[in-house]
Amino acid sequence: MSAVSLAGVTKVFNAGRPDEVTALTDIDLTIAQGEFVSLIGPSGCGKSTLLRLIADLIPATSGTVEVAGKPAAKARLDQEYGIAFQQAGLFEWRTVQRNVELPLELRGASRAERRARAAEMLALVGLADFARHYPAQLSGGMQQRVAIARALAVHPPLLLMDEPFGALDEMTRERLQAELLAICTKTGTSTVFVTHSIPEAVFLSDRVVVMSPRPGRIAATVPIDLPVRDDAARQSPAFFEAITAVRRALREPGEIPAATP
């Protein structure tokens, strides 16, 4: 059974109206259990839309979306995945700690278990001292880290992450990349990760899915074969070769506007 399976998926917003937008066409994508897949492509190509379809936050116009072998709607009810999206999406009236506890509450975890897990996750993202703060008292990057802690809190079998590290400084970003990889490897978590950073996609992924400009479709899939993924790997020839391969796929001649000589 695959973690995620999309077949013939198309998404049209505002169909039949003057502001109709075809965001995605003909998406076929299967993600294996434990696989880490990044989505990369120009702004507006439909990466967030694709993630929202998998999370069942919006319906597909046509095609099928399955998560853990179930229709996406069923998987959502069964809490088969954790999400950390472009906007942190925290609840302003809840403290940092109670935001992280939320998915555990939904699963009926005991208070002691929730506390312990929230503390562990907040320590992981470097926010142990901010448990009692409210989101409005944090910087954008700190709010993003709370959202990541919340997504990881229940160890979901599937993580859906939309530019989760976009607002972070380079050092924090690299540290959290390494932590995320360690968690996913240890727990066998499957991940769909949206990023604009080619090095980030290469460092994290088993496969990088390159999308073309609107209407978004899958232009190429680049397998990433790094023997080890530690800080030294970021300097290795294999790393730079993979970066070149993804960059080339993003510049595929067919995708470049006709103005190019």
Ligand X SMILES: Nc1ncnc2c1ncn2[C@@H]1O[C@H](COP(=O)(O)OP(=O)(O)OP(=O)(O)O)[C@@H](O)[C@H]1O
Residue numbers of the site for Mg ion (CB under 5 A)?
48
Least distance CB 21 / ligand X (angstroms):
5
Residue span binding ligand X (CB under 6 A) among the ranges 38-46, 124-132, 223-231, 240-248: 38-46
In terms of CB distance, is 43 or 110 closer to ligand X? 43
Q: Which residues, numbered 15-34, are part of the site for ligand X (CB under 6 A)? A: 21, 23
Report the nearest approach of ligand X to the CB of residue 13 (Å).
3
Interface stretch with ligand X, choices 13-21, 61-69, 115-123, 249-257 (CB under 6 A): 13-21
Question: Is the separation of the CB atoms in 230 and 204 below 8 Å?
Answer: no
Out of 8, 44, 71, 140, the only residue in the binding site for ligand X (CB under 6 A) is: 44
Kindly tell me which residue out of 76, 207, 214, 247 binds ligand X, with binding defined by CB under 6 A: 214
Across the beta sheet with 207-211, what order do the strands follow?
A: 81-84, 158-162, 190-194, 36-40, 207-211, 218-223
Of the residues 25, 38, 49, 143, which one makes contact with ligand X according to CB under 6 A: 49
Provide the pairing of β-strand 190-194 with 207-211: unpaired
Sequence-distant (6+) residues with CB within 8 A of 1 are 33, 68, 69
Burial class (CB in 10 A: 0-12, 13-18, 19+), 132: exposed
Residue nearest to Mg ion (CB): 48
| Contact region with ligand X (CB under 6 A), list: 37-45, 124-132, 135-143, 177-185 | 37-45
Q: In whole angstroms, how close is the CB of 211 to Mg ion at the nearest point?
A: 11
Listed residue (220, 212, 214) closest to 246, CA to CA: 220
When asked if residue 10 is in the footprint of ligand X (CB under 6 A), the reply is: no
CB nearer to ligand X: give 21 or 183: 21
Contact 96, 127 (CB under 8 A): yes
Give yes or no for residue 48 binding ligand X (CB under 6 A): yes
14 binds, among ligand X, Mg ion, none (CB under 5 to 8 A by kind): ligand X
Record the tokens describing residue 197, joined without a space. 């950073």
Q: Which residues contact 222 (CB under 8 A, 6 or more apart)?
A: 207, 208, 210, 242, 245, 246, 249
Paired tokens of 170: 């380079």
155 binds, among ligand X, Mg ion, none (CB under 5 to 8 A by kind): none
Choosing from 3, 4, 45, 121, the residue that interacts with ligand X (CB under 6 A) is 45
Applying CB under 6 A, which part among 45-53, 63-71, 112-120, 222-230 lies near ligand X? 45-53
Strands 190-194, 158-162: pairing kind: parallel
Report the interface residues with ligand X, using CB under 6 A: 13-14, 21, 23, 43-49, 214
